[in-house]
Every structure is written in C-alpha cells, then in structure tokens.
Amino acid sequence: MIGLLVVAHGSLGDSLIECATHVLGQRPRHLLSLDLSSEADPERLLARARERIAQLDEGDGVLILADIYGATPCNTVCRLVQPGRVEAVAGASLPMLLKAITYRGEPLPRLADHVVQGARESTFHIHAETCDAGA
C-alpha cells in the first residue's frame, strides 16, 4: 500500500486527515501529516520528513501532498522526491487526499496523476443557477 504524507503549514495536514476520516467513517491506514512551519532549521525539517516517509513506506512508495508550491514545506518536499519511490503533488486539498486514498492501489506515478486530475475536476466556480442549495 502506498503511504500518504500531508506536509503543510500549521494544522492543515491534521485537519485534512480529520476531514477525510469523517467522510470515510474511519481513519485510513498509512496516512500521516507533518507541520513544517513550526521548525526554523531546514535540516531538522528534512530529517522529520524522512522519518515520516520511513514510517509510511511498506515497499510501494510514498505520495506526499504539500500545501503551497514554493513555500517551505514544498521546498523541503522537493529534496525528498525520488521518482517511482517518493512522489509529490502541491496544492493539498480534501478532494486530492480522498482521491489519493481511493487510488492508492495504483502504481505511484499513476496515483500522483489521479490526484492532480482529481484536484482539477473538483474545482468549480459555483453559480446560483447551477446550484440546488437554494431549493
């Protein structure tokens, strides 16, 4: 099973996992978060991320969902990417996490593609005419 790691600012990772647990009715296995905004030392950040990856990797690899491309968490994640072993996607969201959980039986590079596609498909500009919320 592919391990999943959410690397983000503050409690975003924990919050995404909590929401996914609520939607699914139970906490998915091999899913962790890491708050990289609380540590100033980049090498300590990197060490903590490597520890989490080691915890999660059962042999099928780890997919990391980072919050903002170019920010400290994502920059740290960039140093961890190993194609086919540790893949990463930026822009972490609940739809992305749910897609990752759903398709984690796929090969790691394909899983990353599913997650990106899921993010694209779950982003909408909501118009009153197309929404049943007011009915």
From the options 3.40.50.300, 3.40.50.510, 3.30.460.80, 1.10.357.10, give the CATH code of 3-119: 3.40.50.510
Domains of the chain, residue spans: 3-119
- How many C-beta atoms surround the C-beta of residue 13 within 10 A? 25
Global pTM reads: 0.92
pLDDT (tens, 9 = 90+) of the chain, 135 residues, equals: 999 999 999 999 999 999 999 999 999 999 999 987 766 787 888 999 999 999 999 999 999 999 999 988 888 899 999 999 999 999 999 999 999 999 999 999 999 999 999 999 998 888 888 777 555
Q: Which of 83, 86, 51, 85 has the alpha carbon at shortest distance from 66?
A: 86
